[in-house]
Amino acid sequence: MEMKKRINLELRDRAPEEVTELVLDNCLCVNGEIEGLNDTFKKLEFLSMANVELSSLARLPSLNKLRKLELSDNIISGGLEVLAEKCPNLTYLNLSGNKIKDLSTVEALQNLKNLKSLDLFNCEITNLEDYRESIFELLQQITYLDGFDQEDNEAPDSEEEDDEDGDEDDEEEEEDEAGPPEGYEEEEEEEEDEDEDEDEDEAGSELGEGEEEVGLSYLMKEEIQDEEDDDDYVEEGEEEEEEEEEGVRGEKRKRDAEDDGEEEDD
C-alpha cells in the first residue's frame, strides 16, 4: 500500500490537525520519499514510519509538536540536519536498521536540543571502536543510547517517560488519599467506646440471667425442703397419735385386769 492511501485510512474521517499519533509502518514510499504527510498535521506528537523504504527526509513537513519519531529499518544514510529544522522538539529518535556509518552523519543531531534518547541498533556505526563513548561525547544532550545510559542503566518505558511530569502531583495526591480524613480518628474512638459499652451490657445481662437462674433454683430447693419438712411433721404427728392410742389401750387392759382380780376376791 502506498503511504498516501495509508494516511487517508489512518485519518478515519478526522481532520489532519486533530491527529496526535500516526503509524505508517510497512507502507511503501514513492521514490523513497514521503507522500501525503504535510504541514496540516500540526498536533502530531508521535510518528512511526518503520520499514517504508524511506531514503530521504527532505520532504518531511514541519511538525513542531512532534516528540517521538520512529524511522527504523529504512535506507536513510544522511540528511539528518533536516530533523532539527522540521522537528525541533524531538525527545526520542529511532534510526536503528538504517545505513548510518559515520559519526559525522550523527553530528547533525547536535541541534536537537531536547533529544534524550537515540537508537542506532543494527547500523554500521555501532561497529566503530568506542562507539558508545563517542556518541555520548558528541551528543551530550542525550541520556540514553540504544536503550541504556552511560552507566548501563536501562531506559524506562515510553509510557513512564510520559508520566514523569505528573509523578510529583500523583504522589502528593496519593499522600492526601492515604491520610485519614479529619475527625476520622475521633469517630473511630467513639465507635470503640460504644463497642466496649455493648460488651459490658452483654456481660451484665448474662450475669443477671445467671443470678436469676441461681435465685430460682434456690427458691425451688427451699420449697422442696419445706415439703420434706411437712412430710416429716405429719409422720411425727401420726406416731404420737399411735403412741397415745397404745397408752389408752394399755390403761384399759390394766383396768380390766384389776376388775377381774376384784371379782375373784369376792
226: in domain: no
pLDDT of residue 69: 98
What SS3 string covers the chain?
Answer: CEHHHHHHHHHCCCCHHHCCEEECCCCECECCECCCCCCCCCCCCEEECCCCCCCCCCCCCCCCCCCEEECCCCCCCCCCHHHHHHCCCCCEEECCCCCCCCHHHHHHHHHCCCCCEEECCCCHHHHCCCHHHHHHHHCCCCCEECCECCCCCECCCHHHHHHHHHHHHHHHHHHHHHCCCCCHHHHHHHHHHHHHHHHHHHHHHHHHHHHHHHHHHHHHHHHHHHHHHHHHHHHHHHHHHHHHHHHHHHHHHHHHHHHHHHHHHC
How many structural domains are present in the chain?
Answer: 1
Range of the structural domain that residue 81 is part of: 3-145
pLDDT of residue 5: 84
193: in domain: no
9: in domain: yes
16: in domain: yes
100: in domain: yes
pLDDT of residue 6: 86
34: in domain: yes
pLDDT one digit per residue (tens) for the chain, 266 residues: 678 888 888 888 889 999 999 999 998 887 777 888 999 999 999 999 999 999 999 989 999 999 999 999 999 999 999 999 999 999 999 999 999 999 999 999 999 999 999 999 999 999 999 999 999 999 999 999 999 999 999 988 754 545 555 455 555 555 554 555 555 555 555 666 666 666 655 555 554 444 444 555 555 655 656 555 555 544 555 555 666 666 656 565 656 656 555 555 54
pLDDT of residue 8: 86
pLDDT of residue 30: 79
91: in domain: yes
Domain containing residue 73: CATH number: 3.80.10.10
223: in domain: no
